Chains A and B, each alone.
Chain A
Amino acid sequence: MMFTFYSFAAIAILFTLVILFTKNVLHAAFSLVIVFFSLAGIYTMLGAPFVAVTQVLVYIGGIVVFVIFGVMLTTKLNDQHVFSESHNRLVGYGMGLILLVTYAFMIGRIDFQMLQSAGSELQGGDVERIGILLMSDYLIPFEISGILLLIALIGATVIAGRKKEKQL
């Protein structure tokens, strides 16, 4: 159990670093797939199999495909645009490191004992309970998010499908 968690965590961090240091946008997109898969594994271990499946379906099946399409549509073949340069290196890395150290320090100071004892051995997250909650407590957010998705998809189609406009 522990070993599986740490190996998934190591894979996730490793391939996140690959995304950070690679110049090729396509390699970054494929590393993103591996990061999402290992995160789905961690979700399963934390008792959230439904979220893990949603992660695989939506992120890997949807967003990564979007990203790869984006890469292919915004690059010409045989030119250098598929390579992404970096800027603000020093500031970015320094700031990220400082924030991470601060965050880890603060996490280390918190005492999670109460949380651990409050949690029962009951593992939430079976699909049935999620379905019941979606149709009872979370009904309004659920419906609103359906409308939001519809609006977002129509908006994306309108924005991306716009012809090279006559001069406004």
Chain B
Amino acid sequence: MIPITHILILAGILFFIGLVIVITKKNAIMVLIGIELMLNGANLNLIAFSVGDPEISGQMFSLFVILIAAAEAAVALAIVLNVYKHYRTSNVSEINQLKP
């Protein structure tokens, strides 16, 4: 039996490293990767708490989280591609105009 505290700590480490990636990286795709890591950390929490739960609500929620992550990644990458087409860069600190 794995102690739940250790799983939660692992999830926290993943989440906060993802947060640091979101804050510090300049490339928009790296920011997306950070968001995926944060979603995975949250997912790990949900699954850790659904161990031994006969109703497995945590697992069902994590399935929906994975689904939302897929939708989010598709839309976000489409936006990044469009921004790149427009500005010729995917560096988030150079993209500072809504409309040219």
**Which residues does chain B contribute within 8 Å of A85, judged by CB atoms?**
26-27, 91
How many B residues touch the partner, as a band? 35 or more
The answer to whether B44 touches A39 (Cβ under 8 A) is yes
Minimum C-beta distance from B40 to chain A (A): 6
Interface residues of B in 1-49 (CB under 8 A from A): 1-2, 4-10, 12-14, 16-21, 23-30, 32-33, 36-37, 40, 43-44, 47-49
The answer to whether A112 touches B4 (Cβ under 8 A) is yes
A92-B23, A99-B19 known; A149+B71 contact, CB < 8 A: yes
The answer to whether B50 touches A124 (Cβ under 8 A) is yes
Checking A2, A70, A138 against B81 with a beta-carbon cut-off of 8 angstroms, the contacting residue is A70
**Which residues does chain B contribute within 8 Å of A134, judged by CB atoms?**
60
**Which residues does chain B contribute within 8 Å of A88, judged by CB atoms?**
23-24
Minimum C-beta distance from A105 to chain B (A): 11
Does A7 sit at the interface, judged by CB under 8 A? no
Contacts A/B (CB < 8 Å), 16 sampled: A9-B10, A13-B13, A25-B30, A39-B40, A46-B48, A59-B69, A63-B36, A81-B91, A84-B26, A85-B26, A85-B91, A92-B23, A124-B52, A133-B56, A156-B77, A164-B85
The chain B residues found within 8 Å of chain A, CB to CB, are 1-2, 4-10, 12-14, 16-21, 23-30, 32-33, 36-37, 40, 43-44, 47-56, 59-60, 62-64, 66-75, 77-82, 84-85, 89-91, 93
**5 smallest A-B Cβ distances: which pairs?**
A119-B52, A84-B27, A152-B71, A124-B56, A96-B20
